[in-house]
Structure 1
Amino acid sequence: MSGSFGTTQSEERKAARQDLERLKKEFNFLEPDRGDLDSPTIKWRFAKPDYTQANLEYMKGKTKNHPAGSLELVVENLVKRWEMEASHFQDLDQWTTINKERLCAQANGGKVFTAEETWKVGNYNWLMAGCKKDLYDAEKEDFESSHRHFRGAFTKGFPWEVLEVFSGPPTVSFSWRHWAHFTGQYMGSQGAGELLEMYGFGVVELDEYTKITALNIYYKPDEFVEALKGDIPPSQLSMGKALVGSGCPYVHSKVTGTPARSSGSCNIL
């Protein structure tokens, strides 16, 4: 059983699906495309994931509403599909988003990871390989433990969105936002539902088949972990938006009912 008053996970999932469909209809939102998760050929690392709650949190908290067919949406879906494959596919050979012989992944100019290495250690560990070891020691974590830490902290999901694309294929550069409500526990630190936001920049190289050959991510993981541990206030993380753009407040204000702040151009349908 999950939740209060005997609410089952299936009932929570059904309610989340209803809310998700309402937002899609009311605001013309598009659900993220992570590929055919029902394909019988997929071998799952653990079990087939259900993205209903994650997609709902994404729709409720995103600051952009990229039109169908836009480069921004294509890039966003490519990254989301890559993340799904990295997190849930059992075998590297199943990945459709990468050129596994050529892939190089790097965060903040640090260690370069091959496709095999990223599959083995998991996204959290290669992305946080340069984090101060007293905050997060990626060498002491494995795939399972790293996912357990962050899924335990963000019980309703850890949404991600593209803010702006600056160059198209084969070299795609873009700014992004990652956010979540800290509703669970992280290494002994108990969340109180506060919003934690992370901003950064990415450069992705694609081959002639639009498969990823290089992935370079730039952001500040130390500050994010400090906020998780309560060492700095969550509001300090929002300062990162100045580096990548403030995003569009319209979508969030329509969903939550909070007043929209003035800002620059918005990508709204």
Structure 2
Amino acid sequence: MTEIKSKTDQELESLEAQHGFTRPDRGSLEDPNIQWREGKPDYRSLDLLYYKGKSKNHAVGSLEIIVENLVKKWEMQMTHITSPKDWSTVKLDEYRVMVNHSQEMTGQDAVKVGTYNWIMEKASKDLYDAENETFESSHKLFREAFSGGFPWEVLEVYSGPPKVAFSWRHWGAFSGKYKGVKGDGQKIELYGFTIATVNSDLKILKLEVYIKFEGFLRALQGKATPEDLVRGQELVGTGCPIHQQVKTE
């Protein structure tokens, strides 16, 4: 029987054939032994947004692609897999995280509170009150804001293992609501810099994240414009071959 492919699958395959794009590697999503937090995630729609909106097209096998896939696999595991024994991207007994050179947090504690909460722990409470958000509520908050997805890409890699330093970009259409503020579909971007200390097996030992999240949160509350967040083309570069051709849906 001929498989009927969805429109999303067809678009993904078309862009891959036309531009040589490769799907992000998030590890084995078919392992029957994995304990999923909310069921097995489906990344096809997010991958399509990534294809259409990314500003870089790193070469297959490049250090940039290796780093990007490691981070995407890490994000999948920290967000969707409940059991630490299934976190293949980190060395659990050594894994630590730190934001803007604040106090270190153990990886397991970071997962308990949720990525948004440990990254924005020091945010002004009128913008984001990490103490009163749980793992579940924080993810719900931002999923509702970026209802179509919030893709992520590596921009530049400045050093290889064991200390991998890289800049990155998040972006998405603010088409939902954030704390009662309704978006009108405007693109909001978030830039940052990370140093990932890894071992010889590329397991993460420590993440040091440097980010200015205040402007991002202000834009979601209508207190700043998305244009205020753009830090210049020197971070974005010349762009992906379809960046100007295909409008993000």
TM-score range, shorter chain: over 0.9
2:236 maps to amino acid: S
Taking the aligned partners of 1:157 and 1:205, their CA distance within structure 2 comes to: 28
Task: Report how many residues are paired.
Answer: 244
Taking the aligned partners of 1:152 and 1:256, their CA distance within structure 2 comes to: 21
Taking the aligned partners of 1:147 and 1:235, their CA distance within structure 2 comes to: 25
TM-score (norm 1): 0.87
Tell me, yes or no, if the aligned pair for 1:111 and 1:129 is still in contact at 8 Å: no
Return the match for 1:227 from 219, 222, 239: 219
Listed one character per residue, the Cα deviations across residues 48-82 of structure 1 (whole Å, up to 9, x for unaligned) are 00001100000000000111100000000000000
1:247 to partner: Cα distance: 2.1
Taking the aligned partners of 2:226 and 2:245, their CA distance within structure 1 comes to: 23
Matched, 1:142 2:134: yes
Give 1:162's aligned residue. 154
Give 1:260's aligned residue. none
Tell me, yes or no, if the aligned pair for 2:50 and 2:152 is still in contact at 8 Å: yes
Matched, 1:178 2:167: no
Give 1:5's aligned residue. none
Matched, 1:193 2:185: yes
Give 1:264's aligned residue. none
Tell me, yes or no, if the aligned pair for 2:46 and 2:149 is still in contact at 8 Å: yes
Q: Describe the SS at the equivalent of 1:245.
A: helix
Taking the aligned partners of 1:111 and 1:182, their CA distance within structure 2 comes to: 31
Listed one character per residue, the Cα deviations across residues 152-204 of structure 1 (whole Å, up to 9, x for unaligned) are 01111110000010000010000111100001111101011000011111100
1:57 maps to amino acid: L
The answer to which structure, 1 or 2, has the higher relative contact order (CA under 8 A, 6+ apart) is 2
Taking the aligned partners of 1:208 and 1:130, their CA distance within structure 2 comes to: 33
TM-score (norm 2): 0.94
Structure 1 segment 94-173 matched on structure 2, within 5 A: 94-173=86-165
Return the match for 1:246 from 236, 242, 245: 236
1:228 to partner: Cα distance: 0.4
1:256 to partner: Cα distance: 4.0
Structure 1 segment 44-55 matched on structure 2, within 5 A: 44-55=36-47
2:24 maps to amino acid: P
Distance 1:145 1:249, change over 3 A: same
Return the match for 2:8 from 10, 16, 26: 16
Q: Describe the SS at the equivalent of 1:158.
A: coil
Q: Describe the SS at the equivalent of 2:102.
A: coil
Taking the aligned partners of 1:165 and 1:35, their CA distance within structure 2 comes to: 22
Tell me, yes or no, if the aligned pair for 1:110 and 1:129 is still in contact at 8 Å: no
Q: Describe the SS at the equivalent of 2:244.
A: helix
1:139 to partner: Cα distance: 0.9
